[in-house]
Structure 1
């Protein structure tokens, strides 16, 4: 009887390990996609941008695998602690999939941006992007380690990304008002910047799910938000 029980526990642990591996692989792919997208903006490389857009399908496929594995684990009647692992995995995979989508969107916009002469504001976009990449990589590492304290620090750092985004947003609006020829390329940059800001929000969602995974329903401390673009003039 004990042997059967041990086998079931071992099998369950192996499936959880497989699920974790899939999510970590998804996270690495999404972070690499984002880095590549930022690189093609700098290099104005349409061919590389097309490859990034095509690669988004691989992240979507992995999310489907995660969903199937979560369903299989859920049907085995998990205990409360294991149920948190399963719920967090489903939510984290969804956030990573969205991060991959936003990275692909940045690559798509870069191709439209390349139709106009280079703008100096792509440097500001690069700084915003590097911070977004760091948030994604750090939060995936925190998820791997089940480190709620690291997740809380990453969550708090989102205010820094919001500040950079708001600054770039205002700078681009000013430039557009000064030079009508800049309206189209600056609009593409605004959408790209918003994609990066949303990636930061999804990294924050993952951080909150790490907290839930470790602490259950215990409330998180309040978080500062500094996206002031709704009030920017």
Structure 2
């Protein structure tokens, strides 16, 4: 019993670290978008600087997961939990990387006087942010129904991405003075689209955790 309790404690710690990583990645994403909207260079720089802690946290998760596999020889559901934690930590670290990319775009357009408003891009952000929140909840609750919902939401993001790119092309053609801003917004749109994909990948991890079968929810 003592050995099992010790393993469960380590598994619980792994889960806590993963949820911390998830919250930090989501916060980085939302902060980068606010920095873009408010032309807040200081906040954008903070997202970039804080990414190193997120990278270290992912490394800690990987180290603990590998240690658990090597020393505890987990089987069945316990092994799946560890494998899924490794997969999800990687997805969340990439979310944070794209938040850094958005922050860099925010810095590049911070000194522009013209504002380019693209409603479909803001909608993309809203949906992607909700997908991240729900994916972490689906993981915590081991909820495959919620995980499937997230995959359906990704289709909406893909549709909005297409609309956003079309709008960017139109605006760039109509006003040459905002081409730099529009270029950066296309980069931001791509980053948001990728973040939604990573949330969907987390949902795939939930399916594997619960059912022991790999599903491709991005197809």
Asked whether the two chains share a fold, i.e. TM above 0.5, the reply is yes
Deviations 1:36-71 (A, max 9, x none): 111111111111111111111111111011001101
Q: CA deviation at 1:88?
A: 0.6
How many residue pairs match? The answer is 218
State yes or no: 1:43 paired with 2:25: no
Q: CA deviation at 1:120?
A: 2.9
Partner in structure 2 of residue 195 of structure 1: 191
Worse-superposed segment, 106-115 or 187-196: 106-115
Give the whole-Å Cα distance in 1 for the aligned partners of 2:218 and 2:12: 34
RMSD (Å) for aligned C-alpha atoms:
1.5
Q: CA deviation at 1:180?
A: 2.2
State yes or no: 1:59 paired with 2:64: no
TM-score, normalization by structure 1: 0.89
TM-score, normalization by structure 2: 0.94
State yes or no: 1:33 paired with 2:28: yes
Alignment of 1:1-233 (within 5 A): 6-75=1-70, 76-217=72-213, 220=215, 223=217
Deviations 1:187-216 (A, max 9, x none): 100001100000000000000010000001
Q: Is the 8 A contact 1:169 1:190 kept in 2?
A: yes
Larger radius of gyration: 1
Q: Is the 8 A contact 1:156 1:224 kept in 2?
A: no
Give the whole-Å Cα distance in 2 for the aligned partners of 1:118 and 1:27: 34
Give the whole-Å Cα distance in 2 for the aligned partners of 1:128 and 1:152: 18
Provide runs of 4+ in structure 1 moved above 3 Å. 222-225
Q: CA deviation at 1:122?
A: 5.0
Q: Is the 8 A contact 2:14 2:65 kept in 1?
A: yes
Query: Which residues of structure 1 form unaligned runs of 5+?
Result: 1-5, 226-233
Give the whole-Å Cα distance in 2 for the aligned partners of 1:52 and 1:19: 24
